[in-house]
Structure formats: C-alpha cells, structure tokens
Structure 1
Amino acid sequence: MKLLRIKDNSQQKKDAFSQVAKLTGIIADKTLEQLEREGVFVFPETVKDAKDITQDQMILQSVNDTYRSGNVMGFLGYGDERLAIASRFCGEGEDYLFQYLLDKVLDFPNIVDLDADANQDNRLFNFLLFLFPHYLKAAMRKGLFKKYIRHRYNDGNVKGTIDVARHIKKNIPFVGNVAYSQREFSYDNSLMELMRHTIEYIKRKPYGKKLLIKVKDEVKLVIDATPGYEPYDRQKIIEQNKKNTVRHAYFREYLALQRLCLLILRHQRHQIGTGARQIYGILFDGAWLWEEYINLLIKDIFYHPMNKSGKGAQRLFDGNVGLIYPDFISRNSEPRIIADAKYKLLGNIGNRDYLQVLAYMFRFDAKAGYYLYPEAEWSDDLKLWLNRGSTYEKNVVPRDDISITKHGLKIPMDAQNYSEFTAKMKVQEQEFTSVFYA
C-alpha cells in the first residue's frame, strides 16, 4: 500500500504526490460536491449549508507547480494508494488536535492514527461506525420516517387491488380468500429496515453496545417500528435503498443517514474500494469542528447562532431583510462582543473577514470583536484599532473605542502522548477563555 500524509492549509510541490499519482489525478481540482457524488463521505452532511467550507472548495487545488490543501482532514483511497490529510498542528507525530476535536465535538474514541498504513481501511470503516449515533440522532429529530409501501394480502377482507395471477395460483379451489395488494403509509419501510440492519450489525461489534448506548432511545424507536425485520433480508434491503434514495428536502438528514448505512453495510475488507475507478474516503470539515469546539468552551458567555438548523437567525435590516449568522454574540450586552471562529492561519485572516465582523459589530452596537483561531506559534494577541478619517484629507488616525482582536488558542506541539496533550489543552483552554471573564 502506498501512503502519503499531508496537512491541511498547506502547500507542497506536485512532485511530492508522485507515489499516489493516480489518486491525486482523480481528486486534484475537483470540488467537494464532485467527490461526494463519486463516493467520498463528507462531514458535516450538508456541505452546502456550511459557512467556511463550500461545495466548490477543493481538496487539492493546483497552484503553478504545487498543490494547496484546504480546511478538510481525513482519508482518501483509490486502489492501493492512500492519502491522509492531518491537521497542520500534528508535527511529526500523531494528530492529537484532530483526535481532540472529534472527541470533544462528536465523542469519538481515540482512533486517529495517520501514520500506520496497514490498517488504513479499517480505520476509515471505524470512522463510519462512530458517526452513526450522530447521524441517527440528527435524523430522528424529524420523527420516524414514514412512507407508502405496497403490502400483499390473501384473505377475505379485500381492501385494495386484486392480484388475479396470484389469486389463481393460491386460491383454487376457492375457499373464501382473495389475493390483493394495498398501498399503505407505514413506518416499517425499506429505509427504517436499513437502519435496523445497521443497528444489528453494530451491536455485534466488540464496542457496539457502548457506541449505541448514546442513542438508546432512538435505537428503541427503530426496533419497535420494524417488526418485519429479518436478518437474511439484508441484501434485499440494501438494493432497495440503492434504487430508492430519499428525495424530499425536508428529510435531508435521513438521506445522509441512508448513505452512511449503505457504506457501513456494504463494507467488506476485500471489497472496500472495489472497482478500477472507485474512489472512497471520509473527510471532516476542520472549520466546522473548530467552531463547535469553541462553542463548548464559551457557550456560557456567548450565544451561538447556527445556520444549519436556522437557530438564532439574525437580520441586518428591518422588514426581515439581510439574513446573517454571526458565530458568537455575547450574552452580556454591556459591553457587547462579537466573536468569529476561524480555522485559519493568523496571516490568512484578512480583508473579507474584517468586513464581515465589522458589519456584525455595527449591527449589534458592539465596540469589540474577536477572531478565535488555533495558534501554533504561541504569539501574543494582536489588537487592531479601527481607523477614522480619510487619506484624501490626510487625517487618518486610529480610534480608541472600536477594536478587533486576533485571539489564539495555543495548541501544544510537544506532547508525547494523547493524555499529555489533553492535560496541556485544559491549561490552554482556561487561559484562552479567561479574557472573556475579566
């Protein structure tokens, strides 16, 4: 197996990708939307709704004789070639920050190891399994999935369409029964059965019960709703779901769950990546993980509008005009603070970012704004004072009342193991949040 390991938000010579040339040729300059259609699983499930990662973002973008990586982390495979994308904070060892973000935001077990190539496919499969509770919970918030299915009967209670051929086959000589079928609105449908098969599959794993205990109520609802479950029907259920994907926009969470279940149930060690042209893998939006992690740290002192769920939507103008979703709005209005989580290098936080936060500050009468980013260099905060005046009139001077601060959370780069990294992160988190309690 050929394995290349790179980091997010980095730039490397194209020659460095020669050992995974076939894989690189497939993914280079392709958008996330294109890769999703080809079988790559992207988290979070609705890329088009994410703010810092877009459907037209590329995993590898050609820039002259180099490739530039973006905000995503994860694994990709094609044939015997593998590409592992780590966070830029992993140093030469394991990617402790990536693991830490997954652990905090998604309650993942400690499974991130981007060095060993022998079990890369198994690790990819583990990622899919550990995502199942999150997707199940998200889908079930919409209620149990119900759709019309056709049931076949053979009794004297005729309520639907008579099936003449089946009636002749089963009911001669006539004893009072009639073969008929009826279209009914039912919870026990192919998608619910697919979810049930996935649950039963995960249960048989050594860590299965521990994994499903997080969603025990949702699991019980699925089991209760699928009395027709039969273990030997798995392949039939898989084929039905491949042909009949969820189409209604309201149930998009169920579409993501359906895709995940199919990937899990169709996985076999000797089949993953089967086919001369099949690419596979799983990619995580680093910007989304970082924003949700920051929210866990400061949720007691900041509101966190969420554009995916429509929670906390704000408007710029009267008349319901100008929909906006600032990352964080301080609960205390005196003084009001606007904060923006950025999974970016310090030097890459620039003009468009400034304009966005300043617009939010103006809207909420805030005098202070913050960029909350991961810091590798352990540099001090950078405070920028807004100018007043004009170069035309030669009277430009900094104001003393409106500022934006680039406030970094220092990421430990010298940890020897994950336990040490976690302990050091706790210290840095306290220092990071202390500025908002002053």
Structure 2
Amino acid sequence: MTVSTAIARLNAADPDFARHLDHLLSWESVSDDAVNQRVLDIIKGVRERGDAALVEFTQRFDGVAANSIDDLILGRERLELALTRITPEQREALEKAANRVRMYHERQKQDSWQYTEADGTVLGQKVTPLDRAGLYVPGGKASYPSSVLMNAIPAKVAGVAEVVMVVPTPRGEVNELVLAAACIAGVDRVFTVGGAQAVAALAYGTESVPQVDKIVGPGNIYVATAKRHVFGQVGIDMIAGPSEILVVCDGQTDPDWIAMDLFSQAEHDEDAQAILVSPDAAFLDRVAASIDKLMPSMERADIIEKSINGRGALIQVRDMQQAMDVANRIAPEHLELSVADPQAWLPHIRHAGAIFMGRHTSEALGDYCAGPNHVLPTSGTARFSSPLGVYDFQKRSSIIFCSEQGASELGHTASVLARGESLTAHARSAEYRILTQEKGN
C-alpha cells in the first residue's frame, strides 16, 4: 500500500500561529437540515406508534427481518450465552478490564451528608441514583465492547436499578463481544434497535422499551442529533466530536512510539485529530519520518492518512512551559505528557479530559483497561466538562430543616430580601414563622 503523509507543521513563534491553530481545531458537529428533519420524523413516529415504529424502522434501516418487537429483545440468557462464544482470552480481558473500571469508579461514589447548626437547623444533601439509564452502543463491525463497560459499570456503581442497552444488529450481525461485555457489566435489558429510533424509544418509552432518565453512549450523526432533540425529556451525557490526542514530548521518547500513539486516535475516523507538541525541532522531524515509515503497515492506513493530513499537526514550541500553554489552549480529550518528570508539569495542566503520565503510558491503555473512564469531553469542552463517571448517574437533593428558632431568625433575612424583590407572598410566608416575641421586638 502506498500512502502519502503531509502532516502540517506549525511553530508557536510565528505571528499567525493562533489563527492557524484555531483553523486546525475548528470542527462543527452540526446536522444538515435533511438529517435534522429525518430525525424529527423518526422521533415523531416512535412517539406515536411505539413498538410498531421500532420494528418498521429496524427493518428499513438495519435490514433486519423482524416480525414483532419480540424479535428485537435479548434476554439475560442470551448475554450469558455470548460469554461462552467468545474465546477464553477475550473473556479474561473483558473481566480484568471490568474489574479495574469498577474499582476506579467505586472511589467516585458520593454519599449523602447533613450538618446541624446551633439552633437545631439541619442542612444537607441527599444523593440518589437515577432509576433507569439507557446505554446506546454502536452495532455491527464498528462496535466497541469497551464502551459497554465504560458506560454501564459507572451506572451500576452509582446504584442505578436498571440499565437498558440498545444496540443495532445491521443485517442481523450480532457482536458477541458486545453482548459478553453487557453480561459482565450487569446490563439488565437489551433491545437490538439503533439509530434515532432507539434514542426516541429510550427517551419516551414504548409498549416494550422502558422510558429512561438519562441516555449515554456514542453514536453516528443520527444518534447525536436525536440526543440533542430529546435532551430535556431525558438527560444525556454529551454530544461528542471526533476523537483527539495531544502528545507533549520533550524529545526523548522513541519517535516510533509517538507516531503510533498519534495513529491510535487517527484510525478512529477521518475527522479524528492527532497533534504532537515539542520544543525539539529535530525530534519533530524524526516523528515525521516514523509516520512515513509506519503508515504503510497500518490496516486502516487510508483513514489514518486522511486524519493526519487533514487535522493532524506537529507543533514546535519555545520550551516546555509554552507547550503547557498550547495544551491548555487546545483542551484536548486525551493528553499524553511523554516527558521525564510528568508529575512536575501536572500542576500546569488546567484543561484536559484525561492525562496520561510518562513515556510508558499510552492512551490506548486508558481506552480499555487502566480504569478511568474513556468517555471524555472533546472539541475543547474539557474547559468546562469532565469524564463520564458515577456522578453522572446520581442526582443531589438539598435538605433543609428549620427548627422553630432557626425559622424565626432566617425569616427576618428572607423577609427583607423578598420585599426587596417585591415578592410579598414570599416575605409573608417567611414572616408567619417569626416568633411572636421577636415580632413584638
């Protein structure tokens, strides 16, 4: 296979560097009008016709010969069967990854808390898991059992009573690894539907698909558009953009390692983004040579080439401090600190979905089995967003209990503020609780 790589070279010292970087990072996840209207029609169909619409859309879009909704339901016994159909090595890998993901997320659990003030007033927070979560999983050959673990396990750790998974089976193609992962992760119900129709079913419910409180998991443009439309009816995790990796290297890591780390994200799709930042210009040259050398050996070379040439870059900076500045400007989904002392630079990082520390920590480990979640903010949203976690499947209720004395004292403050806002009923409601003796004073 012959490929031609022409990855962009940028220098932070150039006066127009910021403009070039902004252009490189720009990506719009906007559906066109045709996609948007199609999704709205599908959602309307599912809301009006329920199971019948799911069966019809699955026949039409996935080429599945389903006669009724019963043909699109997989029971627990089918998931357990999948465990016997994968290889022992695959089962061991899934179970080890699941255990590590579960162990990490157990540390994220939040408990309810309360405290009592001197006058007996009690304030606190009640933490409650969602009743039901929906997990969207891409189907067919482009399916990811690791995503099942990363989405379902935090929900179960949070205490979600029921996790409902939807996964398309185009032309009847079932991915046994995905079903095995669902079994290991504790998924409760599985429906073999996909696309916007699956999102609509989870959001509004049908005769057979239960309505959920939150929908998580990746999908194509139809799935993402549907998630946008049902947000508010249910919660969603995020609208994810293409996968990203930013490697910051001091020039001392094997250039072949760095090239392959860049490939690991570029192979997802043509819009994925792989960027290397280093103060060592000669090292950037060596990595460019490694890219050219290794590219022909890659199974997904065509995709990697388009990603690297279209959205990739090798960026030279003045020093490591400027490298940190560039990293924070990009706010990447995945950040590799491939340097001698990553711990020393960690305090300088303000914006990143996940930070991979040191030369030996490849981003791929985080995708599968390190433990932290691989569902991460993309497209610069790490400036204000966090990885998926147990906290996404818990909600918090404030607790307020006022003693007689406490209500009386707070009533004065509430009254002044309420009358300042011309909300007299608010004021009088608080004033009713002011003790008679205090009113007289």
Q: Which has the higher contact order (CA 8 A, sep 6+)?
A: 2
In terms of fraction of residues, the more helix-rich structure is 2
Same fold by TM-score, threshold 0.5 exceeded?
Answer: no
Q: TM-score, normalised by structure 1?
A: 0.26
In terms of fraction of residues, the more strand-rich structure is 1
Q: TM-score, normalised by structure 2?
A: 0.26
